[in-house]
Amino acid sequence: VVGGQPVRVADAPWTVALASRERFGPVRAGQFCGGVVVGRTTVITAAHCLSREVLGVEPTEAKDLKVIVGRGDLRGGDGKEVPLRDAWVNPEFDPETNAGDVAVLTLAEPVPDRYPIAMARSGDAAYDPGTSAGVYGWGDMLGDGSYAEDLRAARVRIMQDALCRRAYPGGPEGTYRPAMMLCAGLPRGGRDACQGDSGGPLVARGRLVGLVSWGSGCAQPGHPGVYTRVSSVADLVRTHSTDGLPPGG
Ligand code: 4AZ
């Protein structure tokens, strides 16, 4: 997260780290992506976090792939590392456009009841342009490979689709698809998600509205961060969760 500040994980217990020491080494516990607790055994993240390029193997073969819950400081301490019972990666995810960037992870053991966050339903005012939202993660703080050890967050605003389209009309930087994505940032830049934050939460009005997905660089003016629009994948998430998640999203 660029332009953010440290937050206590107790204030954002739905934020989790995806980690694999085997693949990413011992530093920062092997953290490589974020994720969000939406049910007691259900974590959602970005599909691109679990691609073969990132993991080296299929997610079901990544033996030490873990979800770190209830821990803000990756050097250790509170919380725990929970293994996975299952991983479902959206087969419709398009790595060219990043459309459908969602995966559903089933935890081998449930997290406390206070951890999950509700997915904002389509039409919820939380998605309205101009709404203040928080993005959370352990990713790059400056856009130069300075990864965080403590959980951080930045406040951004949800932007109008017309502006997101103008920023990403197509081509190598990516194509903005309003039905499946939303974009957020500040007009002057300076605050954004960045490398290592992918799959993590964008929260507005206390509900989950986005998953960190892509963008051109980090915190650049005119290039807001792009997120998976949670309402567009909520049905998929419910279908692939065993928690009996409430309707909506
Ligand atoms: C990434 O590569 C990434 N500034 C995540 C978020 C953004 C750009 C890149 C948005 O994981």
The pLDDT of residue 249: 63
Question: For residue 103, which of 18, 23, 29, 174 has the smallest C-alpha distance?
Answer: 18
Which tokens sit at 61? 């073969």
User: Is 168 near ligand 1, meaning CB less than 6 Å away?
Assistant: no
Exposed, middle or buried by CB within 10 Å (0-12, 13-18, 19+), for 51? middle
Give the pLDDT mean for 13-33.
95
User: Is 140 near ligand 1, meaning CB less than 6 Å away?
Assistant: no
Q: What percent of the chain has pLDDT over 70?
A: 99
Give the pLDDT mean for 44-54.
94
Residues sharing a CB contact under 8 Å with residue 198, sequence separation 6 or more, in sequence order: 33, 34, 45, 46, 48, 49, 139, 212, 213, 214
User: Is 212 near ligand 1, meaning CB less than 6 Å away?
Assistant: yes
Neighbours of 173 (CB within 10 A): 15
> Residue 248 — pLDDT band, cuts 50, 70, 90?
low
Q: Which of 20, 48, 223, 231 is catalytic?
A: 48
60-117 confidence digits (pLDDT tens): 787 889 999 999 999 998 999 999 999 999 999 998 889 999 999 999 999 999 999 9
Neighbours of 217 (CB within 10 A): 14
Ligand 1 atom, smallest distance to 226 CA: 10
The pTM of the full predicted model, rounded to 2 decimals, is 0.97
141-174 confidence digits (pLDDT tens): 999 999 999 999 999 999 999 999 999 998 777 8
Residues sharing a CB contact under 8 Å with residue 143, sequence separation 6 or more, in sequence order: 2, 194, 217, 218, 219
Q: Which of 133-142, 163-172, 180-189 has the lowest mean pLDDT?
A: 163-172
Determine the distance separating the centroid of ligand 1 and the alpha carbon of 216, expressed in angstroms. Answer: 7
The pLDDT of residue 57: 84
Pocket probe mutation, ligand 1, options 216, 218, 227, max atoms within 8 Å of Cβ:
218
The pLDDT of residue 96: 87
Ligand 1 atom, smallest distance to 33 CA: 11
The pLDDT of residue 130: 98
Nearest-angstrom CA–CA distance, 211 and 214: 10
Give the pLDDT mean for 220-242.
97
